[in-house]
Amino acid sequence: MNHEFYMQRCLELAVMGMGNVSPNPMVGCVIVHEDKIIGEGYHQKIGEAHAEVNAIHDVFAKHGDNAPSLLKQATAYVTLEPCSHFGKTPPCADLLIRHQLKKVIIGNTDPFESVNGRGIAKLRDAGIEVITEVLKEQCEFVNRRFFTRIKAQRPYFILKWAQTTNSYFAPEHTSQQWISGPEAKILTHQWRSQEDAILVGKNTVLADNPQLNTREVKGKNPIRIVIDRNLDVPSDFHIFNDAAKTVIFNEVKTEVVNNIHFIQMEDMHFYLPQKIAYQLYLMDIQSVIIEGGANILQQFIVSNLWDEARIFTSKSRWESGTKAPKINGTVIEQTAIGNDELKIYKPNKA
């Protein structure tokens, strides 16, 4: 059997849950009998059935009374180790054991303490053959947000900005001025729908009065996070509407008013990125797009608190303005988006 072929299909299924399963991982599962897929599924929504459950349900839906006998001779492929504990749903390892699958092929072991290796051990103890680390790196990449939250105990941070061809980031005056084109805007909104939260500083809000939503695409709005030390943003700005939960980090008060959560922090001029990272981890926020301004982006860069940078470069030139941040990273992807160039970086290891 071509393990990589079927695991690749699992990955295609897994990413269909993007934006809907956090802080859980994205997981895909394919069940194969005599080199034919007889059922498949993925984790669709937080708190609902896991990938293995949906895949087995698919076998029964397609094969009816023949399903039990087919499963006993089948191999399950799954991107992440089946869970062995009771969470919001029962253990998936127990489900595979109950249906007496012959073999289970796994992409990654689960770094979560309640699972890590225990699902595999449970399967093997039941006499099921287990093979691990098939397309391991690809499976890790799909769940890089989940792995970062579990291992580093912080969200996965994505830096995003647009710059002119001569590296200007924002105009000298405070009025809004677009750098990238409409295609980049649509893609940015797609990205927002895939992540838990979007973070900006006070000056960005005052200059642009942004909505920080996904109005250009179909998808959920991210949690809006604003750094506003002295609560200077007027209450009639878009961030205070009811379109999404909004978190305001400040030094004045802790209070919840409808969907607006004010969270007080002390000494925000010291170790601010680290404080924000820890607070968001406690809030189960798994991924954050940081969209500005330049000062906030630079603070996260200097603190080495970023995992990915997505930078649009337009063909326009400005004579003056605020220079774009500089990062120490390696380009992992480069593509044209309309008239703009998009480069995606990962940080260089120290």
Average pLDDT, the chain: 94
Q: Does 215 show up as a binding residue in the annotation?
A: yes
CB 322 within 8 A of CB 296: no
Does the annotation place 98 within a ligand binding site? no
The annotation status of 162 as a binding-site residue, yes or no, is yes
Is 29 annotated to bind ligand? no
Number of residues in the chain: 350
| pTM reported for the whole predicted model | 0.92
Catalytic residues: 52
178 annotated to a ligand binding site: yes
Spatial neighbors of 20 by CB under 8 A, at least 6 apart, are 44, 45, 46, 220
pLDDT band at 86, cuts 50/70/90?
low
Give the pLDDT mean for 153-171: 94
Closest residue by Cα to residue 22 from 339, 296, 285, 253: 285
- Scan for tokens 């349900």, then name that residue: 57
In this structure, what are the phi and psi dihedrals at residue 256, rounded to the nearest 5 degrees?
A: -115, 120
Q: Is 204 within any annotated ligand binding site?
A: yes
Q: Does residue 202 register a pLDDT over 80?
A: yes
Reported as a single tens digit per residue, the pLDDT across 205-258 is: 998 899 999 999 999 999 999 999 999 999 999 999 999 999 999 999 999 999
| pLDDT score recorded for residue 175 | 63
- Do the annotations mark residue 224 as ligand-binding? no
85 has pLDDT over 90: no
Domain ranges of the chain: 3-148, 154-347
Partners of 275 in the β-ladder? none
Q: 197 near 280, Cβ under 8 Å?
A: yes
pLDDT bracket for residue 37 (50, 70, 90): very high
Mean pLDDT for the stretch of residues 257-271: 96
Report the percentage of the chain scoring pLDDT > 90: 87
Annotated binding residue at 308?
no
pLDDT for residue 88 is more than 70: no
pLDDT value at 176 more than 80: no
Reported as a pLDDT band with limits 50, 70 and 90, residue 77 is: very high
pLDDT in tens, 218-229: 999 999 999 999
pLDDT, average across residues 328-341: 96
284-320 CB burial, b ≥16 within 10 A, e <16? ebbbbbbbbbbebbebbbeeebbbbbbbbbbebebee
Q: Hey, what are 228's tokens?
A: 């506003």
One of 1.25.10.10, 3.40.228.10, 3.20.20.70, 3.40.140.10 is the CATH number of 3-148, namely 3.40.140.10
Q: Give the C-alpha distances (Å, rounded to integers) separating 103 from 31, 38, 88, 125, 291.
A: 10, 15, 26, 13, 45
Tell me what pLDDT residue 116 has: 76
The pLDDT of residue 271: 95
| pLDDT of res. 348 | 93
Q: Out of 45-49, 302-306, 344-348, which region has the weakest mean confidence (pLDDT)? A: 45-49
Predicted confidence at residue 114, as pLDDT, reads 66
Q: For 121-142, how does the pLDDT look when each residue is reduced to its tens digit (9 = 90+)?
A: 999 999 999 999 999 999 999 9
As a whole number, mean pLDDT of residues 274-287 equals 97
Interstrand relation of 246-250 and 223-227 (parallel, antiparallel or unpaired): parallel
**Per residue, what are the HEC states of the chain?**
CCHHHHHHHHHHHHHHHCCCCCCCCCCEEEEEECCEEEEEEECCCCCCCCHHHHHHHHHHHHHHHHHHHHHHCCEEEEEECCCCCCCCCCCHHHHHHHCCCCEEEEEECCCCCCCCCHHHHHHHHCCCEEECCCCHHHHHHHCHHHHHHHHHCCCEEEEEEEECCCCEEECCCCCCCCCCCHHHHHHHHHHHHHCCEEEEEHHHHHHHCCCCCCCCCCCCCCEEEEECCCCCCCCCCHHHCCCCCEEEEECCCCEEECCEEEEECCCCCCCHHHHHHHHHHHCCCCEEEEEECHHHHHHHHHCCCCCEEEEEECCCCCCCCEECCCCCEEEEEEEEECCEEEEEEEECCC
* Reported CATH class of domain 154-347: alpha beta
Residue 24 has pLDDT above 70, yes or no: yes
pLDDT confidence tier of residue 54, bands split at 50, 70 and 90: very high
